[in-house]
Amino acid sequence: MDASALDSMTYRTPLSLLENGVLNRLRLRDQLQIRLPPETLMSIAGHLVRECAAITAEERSLGTTVSDTAVDITRDIYANYTAVDGVRYVKTLCNTASNSGDQDYNRLRRKMDKPVDQIWIAEDHPGIRSLIFCAADSPLVGPTPIMKSLWRVLTNSNDTKEITIKSDGIKLRDIVMSNATRPNASSNYVSWADPSHPDNVIDIMTLGPIDIFPEGLKMMSFNCNASGTTGYTAVTGGTSVAMIHAHWQNDTSFYADMDAAYPRDLFIYMPLDDGEYVTEICRRYALGAGNRPSACLVSPSSRPTKEETHCLEQVAPQSLA
């Protein structure tokens, strides 16, 4: 199966559909013997969905073992996949595809390809969703970004011939260089929503460069003041910004799977007129009790005497690209 075709496959089970199904099947209102507003029932259903997913994952893990396996990156590399709660994950990597008919293997790398300099890993909290093995000068092939996953890169600077894959028995959880010590946190442990990301990251509290990256740092970027931008949307849960998106004329890609990806988050839209642009990105902070930090975008209004400020909820951003 073609790699790009596999990566474009989406096991679509939006949380809203699952919640509606639980509501219809269990008839929560009748079971609880009390009348509750729909919002409360939806919240209960959401917890039931997650509980069902946890029980299903536990049942699927029976008879499996947690293991570390070595894979030779100078040979052909194959992957097969599994679905967990409707989301596709990499189940295992190997150098030889199995002949058993119940598993479909996808070849990620050919032996005659250029040596592997970089391993791009797309992952979320449960596990690894996609992998790209490539040379440093090779373009990335396949759909990037992948909804609700973050990319990090492992750099092979010592001509490593083997990697170690770590599995929880259902899916891959991590990949490390077999003969490597702890990777450089600034490169291998910083994750981005899109592999094509800026490198000049600054701390918005000091406006200086970040010298030490915390392990597991997750970053997102957006195009600011690019030609043709019609507005910006910030997605927030009330305590943090999940993403900021720059809108383009007739570009509707942002709306794909938004309900499934951010079912309960708040969307704040900042429209831009022709010739309007962002003049400031501010971090506001108050010393009073209960006053949390907030971020805002400032742009000149179409009226020359007025300036517009769009606050992105009360959030605590730590870094900016």
Q: Are residues 73 and 191 in the same domain?
A: yes
Residue 255 in 3-state DSSP?
helix
Domain count, the chain: 3
CA-nearest of 66, 68, 20, 64 to 44 is: 20
Q: Are residues 68 and 138 in the same domain?
A: yes
Residue 15 and residue 13: Cα distance in Å, rounded? 6
What one-character DSSP code corresponds to residue 310? E
Residue 248 lies in a domain: yes
Q: Are residues 100 and 138 in the same domain?
A: yes
DSSP H or E segment with residue 68: strand 67-72
User: What is the CATH number for 87?
Assistant: 2.100.10
Q: Are residues 42 and 94 in the same domain?
A: no
Q: Which two tokens stand for residue 59?
A: 């049942």
DSSP string, 292-307: --EEEEEEE-SSTT-E
Q: Are residues 48 and 79 in the same domain?
A: no
Q: Are residues 9 and 50 in the same domain?
A: yes
pLDDT in tens, the chain (321 residues): 444 444 444 444 444 445 555 555 456 566 666 777 777 777 777 787 778 877 777 776 776 667 789 999 999 999 999 988 778 999 999 999 876 656 688 899 998 888 899 899 999 988 999 999 988 888 776 666 687 788 988 888 767 889 999 998 889 999 988 765 454 545 556 888 877 777 777 776 677 877 777 777 788 788 889 888 999 988 887 777 778 889 988 887 777 767 667 778 888 888 898 888 888 887 766 666 666 667 778 887 644 444 455 554 444 344 444
Domain that holds residue 53: 5-61
Residue 208 lies in a domain: no
Residue 75 lies in a domain: yes
Q: Are residues 193 and 77 in the same domain?
A: yes
Express each pLDDT in 197-208 by its tens digit: 777 777 766 778
Q: Are residues 47 and 150 in the same domain?
A: no
Taking each helix axis from N to C end, the angle separating 15-26 and 38-61, rounded to the nearest 10 degrees, works out to 100
Residue 270 and residue 230: Cα distance in Å, rounded? 9
Residue with tokens 């009226």: 303
Q: Are residues 167 and 233 in the same domain?
A: no
Residue 293 lies in a domain: yes
Residue 127 and residue 138: Cα distance in Å, rounded? 25
Could you give the C-alpha distances from 90 to 23, 144, 145, 250, 321, in angstroms and in order?
32, 16, 16, 34, 30
